[in-house]
Amino acid sequence: MIADRLRELEKLDQTDLQTVHHFSDGMYAKEMRLPKGHMAVSHKHTYSHLSILAAGAAVVETDEGSRIYRAPACIEIKAGMHHQITALEDVTWFCVHATDETDPETVDRVLIQGD
């Protein structure tokens, strides 16, 4: 089960993703840099959103399967779909969300759907 996997992953050392938060009039973009071989753990949202692979190559795994993307790429992540990113090369990744939340400390709690 994905929830069990997430609990196990939270116990491991976490890579600094050099996260930068971008906010603008009801829009939020989370910028992350994933080193080759690292991943952003699986999660889901109650709405569809866009992700942008700005640099590098990555595998995107969802409940429907996996696909390799090479930058530049704009990827739609469907509502309710678990998704996980694994960097095949050093990656610059943006998750783009429509939200009025502007606090970097709480934005993930507002956007990510719990299991």
Query: What are the domain boundaries of the chain?
Result: 2-111
Q: Does domain 2-111 have CATH number 3.40.47.10?
A: no
d(CA 64, CA 11): 27
32, pLDDT greater than 70: yes
Closest residue by Cα to residue 114 from 44, 41, 49 = 44
pLDDT at res. 115: 56
The predicted-structure confidence for 45-97, as pLDDT tens digits, reads as follows 888 899 999 999 999 999 899 999 999 999 999 988 899 999 999 999 999 99
pLDDT at res. 4: 53
pLDDT at res. 33: 94
Report residue 30 as tokens.
């989370």
Whether the predicted model's global pTM rises above the 0.85 cut: no
2, pLDDT greater than 50: no
